[in-house]
Amino acid sequence: MTQELTSPTRARQAPAPDRGPQWWRDAVIYQVYVRSFADSDGDGIGDLRGVRRRLPYLKSLGVDAVWLTPFYASPQADGGYDVADYRAVDPLFGSLQDADDLIRTAHEAGLRVIVDIVPNHTSDRHPWFMDPDLARERYVFRPGKGARGELPPNDWESVFGGPAWTRTDRGDWYLHLFAPEQPDLDWDNPEVHAEFAAIMRFWLDLGVDGFRIDVAHGMVKAPGLPDIGRGRQATLIGTQALPFFDQDGVHAIHRSWRRLLDSYPGDRIGVAEAWAPTAARLALYVRPDELHQAFNFQFLNAPWDAAPLRDVIDDSLAATASVGAPTTWVLSNHDVVRHTTRLGGGLDRARAATLLMLALPGSAYLYQGEELGLPEVTDLPDEVRQDPAFFRGGRPTGAAGPGTDTETAPDGLAGASGQDGFRDGCRVPLPWSGERPPYGFGAGGSWLPQPADWDALTVEAQTGDPASTLELYRTALRLRRELPGLGDGRMSWRPAPEGVLAFARSGVLCTVNTLGRTAELPLPGRVLLSSAPVPVTGSTALLPGDSCTWWAI
Ligand code: BGC
């Protein structure tokens, strides 16, 4: 598919406004899951024009940048993470002109734009894979085992369930760490490197400010593709490198992409979606000559409990400091159970967790709808499901950090807290306004049904209500900009009762009560912002259960 820009792109001439070097070190970046954000043409599926129309909302929320999930030409076997043409926009989402218009309008509003790049695999409808000779050079094909080659080449399992290999009608097998419609590229082939560098240049020339690199830990496989041992994959995931995840060889690729990013003006960034077994392994992805950020999934996977949270925070900060990088905090995304539900404490706990995250040193990613306090939708009927893992008959298995158990999300892809383990429940389209579905999402319906009781959660219903979660996020992001002590910089722990965390940033103290009941603390100062009202008796603050407070000190 060839797409042309119908008007000369101005994005090329107007990079994002420069708000100082290293803007990303403390940026708040908002993840737009395009399919579910805003629908401009009434087909029930969000699109790029819908995003563009809602940019004023993102500006008023106070974020620095948006990350757009894949909108490229794709058969949509995995929500667009199966790309058939990396330089074309899928007609579901619009046109290349719409992408150009969106980038330009975002820049005019002072928002940066990060796009997804999917280098571990393509769609099986990609021209390379459709051509049997090209495919054998550029993807991972192997003969099968067994007398007639009828068994897969090794025992690797797909993240979405079942074997990681599919046999072709020629009799050999190809590797797919994800769905069979997502064949793994062979990164030993220099043409693969050249193609991805060219794709990145294409989008950088269009003005994007960086890339979220999908499965950044996956491109390189151990030589010989060794067996893992039947039944061991699930237990090893998250605790050590696997022959297909977090191999040292991926770092050479990231170094080459850093050189490419640095060859463009304006601080363009790469953020790794890398599931590494430890904070120290994750920090390797953000060494000075590699990527700028790596999502901290160990924080995301941490239980809501003061002691383990403190350990994760300490480990993360120490690991990233050892390479001079900031830590990149995240609580929700399109692959995990929304934190309102996942943390098991409803909105109180979710609001507290968010204020904790936004008080920590470094940058943070928000996932669309968390600013509305949206819960996971847990009762989607089977017939509307789209997550390929649902149809592969098993809970996804991947590469989560320590602490993962069978109920929690390996690779962040499975459920937690009694959830069903699939990913449609966090992808339900956003409620913008009105009393009934589709709540202003678009003029038609919505590709996943929205709950009947989301009328109180719409942007419209929450705007201007100081007790709302939306206004809490707005105020938190405004304070983060105004208070020099927040964002990048140092923090130091302060004494606190068991179950409570207290840490100081310059001029600000953050207290977090992870207990389900009130905790007492000597009054530290004046409340700047709190996830719940904090009563004071004399010189004692009564921190409500599951709350977080920012104090001026
Ligand atoms: C993406 C998932 C996707 C998978 C395969 C993940 O990292 O976030 O949504 O299914 O990669 O591309």
Domain boundaries, the chain: 23-120+210-479, 488-552
The predicted pLDDT at position 419 comes to 56
Share of the chain above pLDDT 90, in %: 87
**Residue written as token pair 């409620």:** 431
82 lines ligand 1 (CB under 6 A): no
> Within a 13 Å sphere around the CA of 153, how many CA atoms are in the beta-carbon half?
18
Distance CA 548, CA 470 (A): 16
Mean pLDDT along residues 295-302:
97
User: Please, what is the average pLDDT of the chain?
Assistant: 92
Q: Pick from 335, 365, 424 the residue to mutate for probing ligand 1's pocket: most ligand atoms within 8 Å of its CB.
A: 335
Contacts of 314 (CB under 8 A, 6+ apart): none
The predicted pLDDT at position 392 comes to 83
The predicted pLDDT at position 391 comes to 86
Share of the chain above pLDDT 70, in %: 92
The confidence band for 17, taking pLDDT boundaries of 50, 70 and 90, is low
Work out which ligand 1 atom sits closest to the CA atom of 120: 12
Backbone angles phi, psi at 263, to 5 degrees: -80, -5
The predicted pLDDT at position 2 comes to 53
Which listed residue (78, 157, 214, 546) is catalytic?
Answer: 214
Which listed residue (273, 290, 411, 546) is catalytic?
Answer: 273
Distance CA 193, CA 298 (A): 30
231 - beta bridge partners? none
The predicted pLDDT at position 402 comes to 26
Which of 201-210, 273-282, 416-425 is predicted with the least confidence, judged by mean pLDDT? 416-425
Which of 15-19, 162-166, 493-497, 540-544 is predicted with the least confidence, judged by mean pLDDT? 15-19
What is the residue with the minimal CA distance to atom 1 of ligand 1? 214
* Per-residue model confidence as pLDDT tens digits over 162-210: 999 999 999 999 999 999 999 999 999 999 999 999 999 999 999 999 9
Query: Residue 458 in contact with residue 437, Cβ under 8 Å?
Result: no
335 lines ligand 1 (CB under 6 A): yes
Q: If we measure between CA atoms, which residue out of 298, 254, 308 comes closest to residue 276?
A: 298
Cis ω on the peptide bond leading into residue 438 (within 30° of 0)?
yes
CATH 3.50.50.60 fits 23-120+210-479, yes or no: no
Token readout for 409 is 């999300």
Q: Indicate whether 302 pLDDT > 90.
A: yes
Determine the topology of domain 488-552 in CATH: Immunoglobulin-like (2.60.40)
The predicted pLDDT at position 274 comes to 96
Distance CA 16, CA 55 (A): 15
H helix and E strand count, the chain: 16, 21
* Per-residue model confidence as pLDDT tens digits over 437-454: 999 999 999 999 999 999
300: burial class by Cβ within 10 Å (0-12, 13-18, 19+)? Answer: buried
CA distances from 440 to 99, 378, 435, 460 (A): 22, 22, 9, 10
Query: Residue 77 in contact with residue 123, Cβ under 8 Å?
Result: yes
Mean pLDDT along residues 318-332:
97
Backbone angles phi, psi at 211, to 5 degrees: -130, 140
The confidence band for 390, taking pLDDT boundaries of 50, 70 and 90, is confident
Q: Pick from 35, 185, 215 the residue to mutate for probing ligand 1's pocket: most ligand atoms within 8 Å of its CB.
A: 215
Q: Indicate whether 241 pLDDT > 90.
A: no
215 lines ligand 1 (CB under 6 A): yes
The confidence band for 418, taking pLDDT boundaries of 50, 70 and 90, is very low
231: burial class by Cβ within 10 Å (0-12, 13-18, 19+)? Answer: exposed
More confident residue, 428 or 20: 428
399 lines ligand 1 (CB under 6 A): no
The confidence band for 372, taking pLDDT boundaries of 50, 70 and 90, is very high
CA dihedral 314, 320, 325, 328 (to 10 degrees): -60
Mean pLDDT along residues 259-275:
97
501 lines ligand 1 (CB under 6 A): no
CA triplet 26, 496, 514: central angle to 5 degrees?
70
Q: Indicate whether 416 pLDDT > 90.
A: no
290 lines ligand 1 (CB under 6 A): no
More confident residue, 535 or 7: 535
Name the CA radius of gyration of the chain, rounded: 23
273 lines ligand 1 (CB under 6 A): yes
Assess whether 214 carries a catalytic annotation. Answer: yes
Contacts of 355 (CB under 8 A, 6+ apart): 472, 476, 510, 512, 529, 530, 531, 548, 549, 550
Q: Pick from 69, 83, 114, 178 the residue to mutate for probing ligand 1's pocket: most ligand atoms within 8 Å of its CB.
A: 178
Q: Indicate whether 110 pLDDT > 60.
A: yes
Give every strand in the sheet of 141-142, ordered side by side.
141-142, 173-175, 165-167
Q: At 363, which amino acid appears? A: S
The predicted pLDDT at position 21 comes to 75
Work out which ligand 1 atom sits closest to the CA atom of 273: 7
Q: Indicate whether 138 pLDDT > 60.
A: yes
Work out which ligand 1 atom sits closest to the CA atom of 388: 10
81 lines ligand 1 (CB under 6 A): yes
Contacts of 398 (CB under 8 A, 6+ apart): 159, 237, 275, 409, 410, 411, 412, 413, 414
